[in-house]
Amino acid sequence: MSNQTQTGKVVPGRYLARTKPATRRFSGRLPSGFVWVLPLLLLVGLVFNLPLLMTAASSLVDQKTGAFTLGNFEQVAASKVYLPVVWRTIRIALVVSFACALIGYPLAYWMTRLSRRGQTVALAIIVTSFWVSILVRTYAWIVILGNSGIVNRFLMASGLTETPVEFLYNELGVAIGMINVLLPFMLLPLFAAMLQVDPRLRQIAFTMGASSFQFFWRVFFPLTLPALGATFILISILSLGFYITPAILGGGKVPLIANMLDILINQFPRWNLAAAISLVLLVLTVGLFVVYQHLRRVE
């Protein structure tokens, strides 16, 4: 459109004046939907944020004198009981995350190569696992991996071992149970991310002479790597707060942070120390969540 009048003369700046965006001024009024969201904000603040603030405040208070102190954190750092439990929790969380990645990524990739009906069946099997209680699934591993369980009876009957293998009541048993629970949380996001890869890229790669391995390693894997990293962080976050599986499959011999907090709160009245450990776990979880959100944006 030209900046001309009906007489054909150009009017400088007339078009620009019409298209100049109007400046918005703050009217001092709240958004129209804020009234409906306000009760939810108050509920979240009272139920979620307020307990967190109270926990953080308790971690800075001496249980005997009630004075401000950093002794609770110093006790956690110097203790030969609490700090090893924290490191054990981090170590098992990393092991579980790596195991879920090694198992989940090939399975998710295999699911993308299935037909539409095959993908539906596979997704139905994965989703069905959420319908079974974690407690029931955890006790099922005792039947499978116990000294008189299915696996040990098979190993002893086949002559591979003369005595039962100790699968349970150690870090191996805890890791197996956690992998079983958390694997669907790795599979579903990875499968969804892999479906977003344009299938025409495969045809283009084959047209240019690439093999299937070259396409996977140089095209498909780099495109899905951010999703793999994000789900890895997600599994790590979920692993840090596990309670039921370590309590049952660990037999009290492999306590994690959640189990230690239960002991400090319910068996020993060390609430301030438990608050300090909880704050350490919260800071670690928030740090991992920040990394997770960054990877989601990259994806």
User: pLDDT digits over 22-81, tens only?
Assistant: 555 545 565 666 777 888 888 888 888 888 888 888 888 887 777 888 888 888 888 888
Distances (CA, A) of 216 to 82, 132, 184, 225, 242: 44, 35, 23, 12, 35
pLDDT in tens, 120-162: 999 999 998 888 888 899 999 999 998 888 999 998 988 888 8
Asked if residue 86 is part of any domain, the answer here is yes
| pLDDT score of 208 | 86
Residue 14 has pLDDT above 70, yes or no: no
d(C-alpha 25, C-alpha 42), whole Å: 28
Tell me the three state secondary structure of residue 209.
coil
| pLDDT score of 187 | 93
Domain ranges, residue 81: 56-298
**In 197-260, where do the E strands start and end?**
none
- Name the pTM for this structure: 0.79
d(C-alpha 205, C-alpha 216), whole Å: 10
Query: 195, 193, 191, 176: which is closest to 100 by C-alpha?
Result: 176
Q: Which comes out higher in pLDDT, residue 19 or 188?
A: 188
| pLDDT score of 176 | 94
List residues bridging with 61 in a β-sheet: 68
Residue 20 has pLDDT above 60, yes or no: no
| pLDDT score of 123 | 92
Tell me the three state secondary structure of residue 61.
strand
Q: Are 76 and 280 in contact (CB under 8 A)?
A: yes
Categorize the per-residue pLDDT at 15 as very low, low, confident or very high, splitting at 50, 70 and 90. Answer: very low
Asked if residue 149 is part of any domain, the answer here is yes
Ranking 12-26, 183-197, 256-270 by mean pLDDT, the lowest is 12-26
CATH number assigned to the domain comprising residue 64 = 1.10.3720.10
Residue 10 has pLDDT above 80, yes or no: no
Share of the chain above pLDDT 70, in %: 88
* DSSP calls for 138-172: HHHHHHHHSTTSHHHHHHHHTTS-SS----SSSHH
| pLDDT score of 73 | 85
> Average pLDDT of the chain?
84
pLDDT in tens, 80-99: 888 889 899 999 999 999 99
pLDDT in tens, 168-202: 899 999 999 999 999 999 999 999 999 998 888 88
Q: How many domains does the chain have?
A: 1
Residue 7 has pLDDT above 80, yes or no: no
Asked if residue 45 is part of any domain, the answer here is no
Pull the structure tokens for residue 161. Answer: 């071992």
Asked if residue 28 is part of any domain, the answer here is no
Asked if residue 164 is part of any domain, the answer here is yes
pLDDT mean over 225-245: 90
Asked if residue 43 is part of any domain, the answer here is no
Asked if residue 264 is part of any domain, the answer here is yes
Asked if residue 21 is part of any domain, the answer here is no
Residue-level length of the chain: 299
